[in-house]
């Protein structure tokens, strides 16, 4: 099926582009603020666990997508879902991935050097409450979940389903960790933001 081959190449190039984007972004922000924008949390904590899940699965996803180019038979070891193996579903998933990554890039431009992966109890970033952050407290995380859904549809398999389930868990856990840290940093200002803006959706 031509669409399978097209999607195979798309996924490999897409996740390679994502990896290069974040590598460049981390390097530039670190150079500008003098400290890495990535905070992994202390070993053994929930903060550390969520970042570890993301790092492991980001690496696995990129490796699998590139390996599928050289070894198409790898698909059967991913336990693909034949009921979803249709061109329309592959294309829908690919479109969702593009929208997700485009949204993430736009959010990075909006936040500039204030972007962080993870959160610290002490930092000099400001609290964002306007623009996309007026609609939801976690626009970046919503875009990440959207991308995970897109990956599952672009490559319907047990592998991507596990990535989706663990990814959603990690996102939710990380959000709760960051909320506690932001409450420590911003106090009443953040409490007011919590009261008027939903964690995920514009409507409560």
Domains and CATH numbers, the chain: 2-20+41-116+127-196 (1.20.120)
In whole angstroms, what is the distance from residue 41 CA to residue 37 CA?
12
pLDDT in tens, the chain (204 residues): 588 889 999 999 999 999 999 999 999 999 988 888 888 878 888 888 888 888 899 999 999 999 999 998 999 999 999 999 999 999 999 999 999 999 999 999 999 888 888 777 677 788 999 999 999 999 999 999 999 999 999 999 999 999 999 999 999 999 998 899 899 888 999 999 999 999 887 555
Three-state secondary structure string covering 8-26: HHHHHHHHHHHHHHHHHHH
- Nearest Cα to 51, choosing from 119, 125, 134, 124? 119
Closest CA to 126 of 75, 173, 174, 185: 185
pTM for the full predicted model: 0.91
């Amino acid at each position: 099926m031509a669409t399978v081959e097209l999607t195979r190449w798309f996924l490999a190039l897409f996740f390679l582009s994502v990896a290069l984007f974040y590598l460049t972004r981390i390097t530039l922000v670190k150079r500008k603020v003098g400290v890495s924008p990535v905070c992994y949390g202390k070993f053994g904590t929930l903060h550390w666990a969520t970042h570890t899940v993301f790092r492991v699965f980001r690496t696995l996803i990129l490796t699998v997508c590139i390996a599928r180019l050289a070894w198409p038979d790898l698909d059967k070891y991913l336990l693909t879902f034949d009921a979803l193996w249709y061109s329309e579903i592959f294309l829908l998933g690919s479109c969702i991935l593009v929208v997700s990554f485009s949204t993430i890039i736009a959010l990075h431009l909006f936040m500039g050097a204030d972007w962080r992966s993870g959160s610290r109890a002490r930092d000099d970033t400001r609290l964002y409450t306007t623009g996309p952050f007026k609609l939801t407290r976690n626009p970046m995380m919503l875009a990440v979940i959207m991308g995970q859904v897109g990956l599952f549809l672009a490559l319907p398999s047990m592998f991507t389903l596990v990535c989706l389930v663990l990814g959603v868990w990690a996102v939710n856990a990380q959000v709760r960790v960051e909320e506690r840290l932001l409450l420590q940093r911003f106090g009443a200002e953040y409490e007011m933001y919590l009261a008027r803006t939903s964690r995920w959706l514009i409507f409560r």
